[in-house]
Every structure is written in structure tokens, then in C-alpha cells.
Amino acid sequence: MVESGTATDLLRWIPLLPLLGALVHGVGLGLLRREMARPLVIAISCGAPIAAFAVTCVAFARLLGLPGEQRALVDSVYNWIGSGRVSADLAFSFDALTAVMCLVVTGVGSLIHVYSIGYMDDDHRDDGGFQRFFAYLNLFLCAMLLLVLGDNLLVLFLGWEGVGLCSYLLIGFWYGDRWNAYCGMKAFVVNRIGDFGFLVGIFLLLWSLGDAATLNFAELRAVLPRIAEQTVSVPAWLPGGAEWKLTTLIGLCFFLGACGKSAQIPLYTWLPDAMAGPTPVSALIHAATMVTAGVYMVCRLSFLYETAPGAAATIAWTGGATALFAATMAIAQTDIKKVLAYSTVSQLGYMFVAAGCGAYSAAIFHVGTHAFFKALLFLGSGAVILAMHHEQDTDRMGGLRRWLPVTHAVFLVAVLAIAGFPPFSGFFSKDEVLLSAYAAHQIPGHQALWAIGLVTAAITAFYMWRLHFRTFFGECRADAETQRHIHEPGWTVLGPLVVLAVLSAVGGFFGLPAIWGEKIGLPNALGELLHGVLPQPEHHVSHATEYALAGAAIGAATLGTLVAAWMYVWSPGVPAAIRSATGALSRLVENKYYVDEIYDALIVRPLVAISDRVLFRVVDAGVIDGALVNGTALGVRAFAGNLLKYAQSGLTQGYLVTMVVGTLVIVAWMLR
């Protein structure tokens, strides 16, 4: 047993509190069909995450009081599954990495719960939909906290699947609509493909570690050197030759899981469709927390990826490719939430670039700032959607700053943050990510990766300003009736927006890179916190280069901004002109490169068709049941009916002949 931290009973309460909230609603509404009074629903379901946040703060304070860099709190509840070489406790550990994730999850989670009170106010008045929504939301929070608190791979997986379930339930929250239900199912099934990778990763660890098999993170870290140098043979046509490091294979399996949950190529297609869920869900699950679970997992397993350069490079490049690819798709979307969805995919790509390049704390830094500004963007767009009576198409918006000054202001902060303008939070974290790519000599083509990140930054600025201008500037394109009813939402909606706007503005100062921090005497608090938990990359980049890189990033952001301003403010005729000039190309982008259609045609349809027409109709019904089973039965009947019946002829002579022949055969046998 590896000594892994100071024991406490505190940690179990963090996921337990939201679970209790979910249980109360689940039993009361789900089973007894008794709808609770609304104030009580609100008190329970918003109280739970706030209480969890408070407990997290207490735990965090206690953590900071502990000496040493590898400090952690642990809480082992009981042995969950134990059989043969598989043994996993229901155990939680709280180190700096978990602390950051927990603070973000419970903090942003609480804000979004409060926001939902207003947003879901008039939803499903007839069947307790309000309460159902909060039941799912609390359950989600519980699962997400299990995920980040889990002390072993199995508890992490429990949370991992739990958030997937809640995502499924919440995407399809308005289940009366076929499309929503389809999107929910798609999310779950695509995620399951990733989970398959996750499971195979676990099994590979169990298999290769032999007698030392364990699922506990601290123990894995200790025993991993045993297999760090092993290799496996793989088909020779795979990149990297016929011999792979075992850890690379394991790392790639886990990364497949991360690709599913964090919407990376090739499994990203579920996330844009996940926007079918209510907007607070998009903010909490599909922007701030759940989708960053893959990044968290890679950081949690950093000790594995440190020994798996091939896997790390794959992560970095997948992240880079996804960042750019998704950004180009965001350009042409008109649905306000779809733009944000592709933007999320793209930003998650950034996080994987950093994680793949070994800059794990930069990845977590971006997870944090992204949680602030992307939650703000989604909640802000929710305020817009609410004001526009559930209109999501920016083609029917415009000029909204006139009616929604507060929403416009907070949205602007978020746009500045994601576009990467200093001193907003996104600037610092994105800068760290780009720097890590530039400096990562172990990654093949790391400078090209940096360039991709830079181009993506310009595109990001462009599509975010495009969205902002089309929503809040110009003439309103909504009909007069809608225009008359546009108004700012209530305080439960605006309050969380303002808090998130402040965090988006100043969040960068939690993890201020040294080159900036030295100037104003502010330490890199996040970096120091994570120092003992996550491996740190060794940068060999001069300060001059760092400033140059930052300058390039600001330049890219400015360029994107100017192009957007030119196209959507100064010369509004340009977009249409570009569109007609590049007909096929813009159609390709608008239709998201037809990836969904390609997957459908290449995988889904053939699978169903083969299962139905070949496996079921031909093999099962035709060959096995028809020819073999019923064929045998018919054969026996034919044999009995056509041949055996002559034996029962009733003619004594016939019986006599049979008897004599039979006797002769037996005698011959005995005399042999």
C-alpha cells in the first residue's frame, strides 16, 4: 500500500450532498409522482451544490495547511469491488488537481443551479419538469464530483459513466421532441465508444501488471516503472512500426475514452447535437465541466503519459487538429448555441495540445478559465434565447444591446476573454497553451502545432466577434411582435452572469505566467499549487521569445477581430459576397463537412443493414433456424414418413425376414 495522504471523512460529503438532493427528487417525483412545492425544490437542489462547494472550500483549506508537495486528503469509504486481481475501494482523494477541479465544478455548478431557477421557471408546468430538471442536475453534479474525487480508475469510471447518463437525460430533457431524444442517444452511444477504449486501457493495465495489478492512482504511479519499458507488437502498417511501447498503447486506449467525453476527432460529433438540451445544461455539462473530464483524466494519468511519448504526441496533434477543424466549422454557424458548441470543441482541443505537450498545469489552467468564460457565454446566450422567446438563430437577432445592456456587457467580457485579449483570463491561459506547444521539443512538428494554435486563435476571435456583432449590433431582424417583448431576465439569471463575468475578467490572475507575474509581483498561484501533483515541462524559452509569442497571439486576435468588424459592422454586404464567390466551399463548411452524413453512411447504416438483412434474416432465420433446425425436423419427419413407415407394414412375412436377418447379424457379431 502506498501512503497516499491524510485520512478524513470529509470528502465523501462532497458528492453525497448532491446525491441526496437527486434522491429526494427521484423518489418523490419519479416514483411517488408527488410534486414538491417550488421553493422547497429550489432550497434542496440549489442548497446541495452550494453546500458541496462549502465542504470543498473546507477541504481545500485543510489541504493548504498540510506540509509537503505531494499533500493530499484521502477518504476510503469501503471496498467496492474485490475479486481476484480486481480490487477497488470506493475511495476519494483530494490533491491539488482534484481541488482545482472540485472548486470549478461546485463553484460554477452552484452558479448554474441558481441560474436555472430563472431559466427553467415556466418549463413543464404540467408534469413536474422543473423538479425533474433539478433532479438530473444534482445527479450530474454528484457523478462529476465522483469523477474528479475518485482515488482509483474504477471510481473515476463510475463518475465518467454517471456524467454520461446525466448528459443523456438532460440532452433529451424535452423528450417529446424526436430530435432531442435522438441527440441524447447519440451522445451516449458515441461516448460508449470512448468508454470501450477506457475499459480496454484498464484491462491492459491489469493484464500487464500481473501480480502488481492495481487500479489505485498512487499505487499505479509506483508500479508503472515495471512496465514502462515493455513493448508490444502491433500490425506493421501502424505508424511507429511494428513495436510499440506498452504504455503508449495503454495511453492511447485511455485517450480514446477522453476523445469521447471531451469531443475530440473522431468522436466529437455528439457535442454540437448535445445543444438540444436546455441552455444551463449546455453551460454546465457541455462547456464547463463534463467535457473537460477527458483533459482531467489525461492529467490524472500524467505519470503514464510521461512514459508514453507516442501517446502524448497523438494527444497533442489530435488536440491541435480538432482545435482548428472545429473553429472552421464555428465560422459558418448561425445558431447561437451551435457556434458556442464548436467553439467548445475547439477550446478543448487547446487543452489537449497542452496536455499532450506535457504542460499539464497549463491544460488545467485553460480548463478553469474556459469554465468561466464558456459558461458565461452559454448562460449569456441563454439570457438572449429567453429574451427572444426561445429563438436561437442569430439570423433573427441583431441590435439586442439596446434591450439587454447587462447581458451585452457580460457577453462582451466573455468574448474578450475567449478571443484572448489581455488582461482577460483567456489570454493568459491560451498563451500558456501556445507557449507549451512552441517549447515542446519532444513532440514532432511542435512548431507547426504552435502555428495551428495561432491560426485557430485568429479564427476564434473572428467567429466570436461575428457572433457578438450579429447578436447585439446592427438592426434587429426579429419580427415586431417579438421585439416588443424583449427584456432583461430576472436576477437569478443575471446574478450568476455577473459573477462569471468577474471571474472571466480576472480569472487569469490565478495562474499568471511568470513573465507577467514578475512585473506586478503576483505569483503563479495555480502553477505552484499543481507543482507537486503534475509533472512540469522544462522550458528553454527566453523571455524575449515569450513576449514575441504573446505578441503574435495578440496580433492574431486583433486580426480576427478586425476582419469580423469589417464583415459584420462596417461592410455588411461582404459575407454574402464571399458566400457566393466560394459556393461549394462555404456549403461544405456550413454543412460541417458532412461528417455526420459520412459516419451515418459508412458506419451506422451498414451496421444496421448487415445486422438486419444478413445476420438476422439470412444467418439466424435462414441458415440456423430455417435450414439446420427446422430442416432437421422436416428431414426426420420425411424419413419417418417415407421410409420408416414401411417397417410398420403389418405383413408378417416382412417382420419374419427382419427377424432372421437380425438374428444372423447378431450371431455373426458374437462369433467374430
Partner 1 sequence: MDLLDGRLLTIVTFLPLATGLVLLVLLRGLPERVWKIVALASTTLTFLLSLLLWFRYDATRPGHQFVEHVAWLPNWGIHYFVGIDGMSLLLVVLTTFLMPLVLLAAWNEQRKQARTFLFMNLFLETGMLGAFVSLNLFQFYVFWEVMLVPMYFIIGIWGGQRRVYAAVKFFLFTMVGSLLMLIAMIVLYGLHQEQFGAVSFDLVRVPGGGVPGLLETAVPLAGQAVWWKTQPWLFAAFALAFGIKVPMVPFHTWLPDAHVEAPTSGSVILAGVLLKMGTYGFVRFALPLFPIAAEQAAPLIFALALIGILYGALVAMVQTDIKKLVAYSSVAHLGFVMLGIFALNEEGLEGSILQMVNHGLSTGALFLLVGMVYERRHTRQISAFGGIAKPMPVFALLFGIVAMSSIGLPGLNGFVGEFLILAGAFVVNPWVGTAAAFGVVLAAAYLLWAYRRMFFGPVEEPENRALIDLDWRERFVILAVVVPIFWIGVNPNPFLRRLDASVSDLLHQMETRKAAALQTAPPVQAAVSALGVELAEGAVR
Report the alpha-carbon distance of residue 50 to residue 110 in Å, rounded.
6
Per CB under 8 A, the list member of 7, 34, 69, 82 interacting with partner 1 is 82
Q: Is 431 in the site for partner 1 (CB under 8 A)?
A: no
Which sign, positive or negative, has the C-alpha torsion 48, 53, 57, 59?
positive
Nearest approach in angstroms of CB 232 to partner 1 is: 5
- Choose which of 9, 65, 68, 78 interacts with partner 1 (CB under 8 A): 78
The distance of closest approach from Cβ of residue 199 to partner 1 in the complex, given in angstroms and rounded to an integer, is 5
Taking CB under 8 A as the criterion, which residues in 122-141 touch partner 1?
A: 127
Site string for partner 1, 9-48 (x = CB under 8 A): -----------------x---xx-x---------------
The CB density around residue 79, as the number of other CB atoms within 10 Å, is 11
The one-letter amino acid code at 601 reads A
CB-count exposure of residue 155 (10 Å: 0-12, 13-18, 19+): buried
Q: Is 475 helix (H, G, I), strand (E, B) or coil?
A: coil
Residue 86 sits in the site that holds partner 1 (CB under 8 A): yes
The one among 12, 50, 76, 207 contacting partner 1 by CB under 8 A: 207
Minimum CB distance to partner 1 smaller for 227 or for 501: 227
* 57-65, 95-103, 175-183, 412-420 -> range binding partner 1 (CB under 8 A): 175-183
DSSP letter (8 states) at residue 289: S
CB of 223 to partner 1, least distance (A): 15
Q: How many CB atoms lie within 10 A of CB 483?
A: 15
| Smallest separation, CB 325 to partner 1 (Å) | 24
Q: Which stretch binds partner 1 (CB under 8 A): 83-91, 342-350, 421-429, 514-522?
A: 83-91
- Find out whether the peptide bond into 67 is cis, omega within 30 degrees of 0: no
- Residue where the block lists cell 459558418: 332
Please, what is the Cα angle at 251 between 248 and 253, to 5 degrees? 110
CA distances from 52 to 58, 594, 640 (A): 10, 43, 76
Helix and strand tally (H, E) in the chain?
30, 5
How many chain residues bind partner 1 (CB under 8 A)? 65
**Cα angle: 446, vertex 452, 456; to 5 degrees:** 145
Question: Is the Cβ of residue 257 or residue 272 nearer to partner 1 in the bound state?
Answer: 257
In the complex, the smallest distance separating the C-beta of residue 228 from partner 1, rounded to whole angstroms, is: 13
Among 189, 574, 638, 661, binds partner 1 (CB under 8 A): 189
C-beta closer to partner 1: residue 178 or 672: 178
Opening angle at CA 311, ends 305 and 314, nearest 5: 130
Closest to partner 1 by CB, 219 or 432:
219
Taking the C-alpha atoms of residue 200 and residue 505, their distance in angstroms, rounded to an integer, is 41
Helix 293-300 vs helix 153-171: crossing angle, to nearest 10: 170
Q: Considering beta carbons, is residue 112 or 149 the nearer one to partner 1? A: 149
Nearer to partner 1, 70 or 231 (CB): 231
Q: Which of residues 586-645 bind partner 1 (CB under 8 A)?
A: 607-608, 610-612, 615-616, 619-620, 624-625, 628-629, 633
- What is the number of other CB atoms lying within 10 angstroms of the CB of residue 442? 14
Task: Kindly tell me which of 188 and 424 has the beta carbon lying closer to partner 1.
Answer: 188
Q: Which span sits near partner 1 by CB under 8 A: 188-196, 266-274, 395-403, 532-540? A: 188-196
Beta strands 6-7; 243-245: pairing state: unpaired
Given the complex with partner 1, which of 578 and 629 has the nearer CB atom?
629
Q: What is the DSSP letter of 35?
A: P
The torsion angle over the Cα atoms of residues 503, 507, 509 and 510, rounded to 10 degrees, is 110
Q: Cβ–Cβ contacts within 10 Å for residue 42, how many?
A: 19
| Contact track, partner 1, 141-160, x by CB under 8 A | -------------x--xx--
Nearest distance in Å: CB 331, partner 1: 32
Provide the grid cell at 435: 507557449
User: Residue 6 or residue 87: which is nearer to partner 1 going by CB?
Assistant: 87
C-alpha gyration radius of the chain: 30
Indicate which single residue of 84, 235, 573, 650 sits in contact with partner 1 (rule: CB under 8 A): 84
Q: Give the binding range for partner 1 (CB under 8 A) out of 45-53, 196-204, 305-313, 354-362.
A: 196-204
Does 81 contact partner 1 by CB under 8 A? yes
For residues 208-267, which are near partner 1 according to CB under 8 A? 208, 230-233, 243, 246
User: Which one among 85, 221, 531, 539 touches partner 1, defined by CB under 8 A?
Assistant: 85
Angle at which helix 336-356 crosses helix 293-300, to 10 degrees, equals: 10
3-state SS, 124-157, equals: CCCCCHHHHHHHHHHHHHHHHHHHHHECEHHHHH
Of residues 623 and 667, the one with the C-beta less far from partner 1: 623
Residue from 43, 69, 175, 441 touching partner 1 (CB under 8 A): that is 175
Give me the sign of the Cα torsion angle 58, 64, 67, 72: positive
Chain-centroid distance, C-alpha 208: 28
d(CA 435, CA 453) in angstroms, rounded, equals 10
CA torsion through residues 184, 188, 190, 191, sign? positive
Query: To the nearest whole angstrom, how small is the minimum distance from the Cβ of residue 87 to partner 1?
Result: 10
Among 42, 149, 204, 330, binds partner 1 (CB under 8 A): 204
* Among 178, 390, 519, 672, interactor with partner 1 by CB under 8 A: 178
Residues that bind partner 1 in the complex, under the rule CB under 8 A: 26, 30-31, 33, 78-86, 127, 154, 157-158, 161-162, 165, 168, 172, 175-178, 180-182, 184-185, 188-189, 192-193, 195-196, 199-200, 202-204, 206-208, 230-233, 243, 246, 607-608, 610-612, 615-616, 619-620, 624-625, 628-629, 633
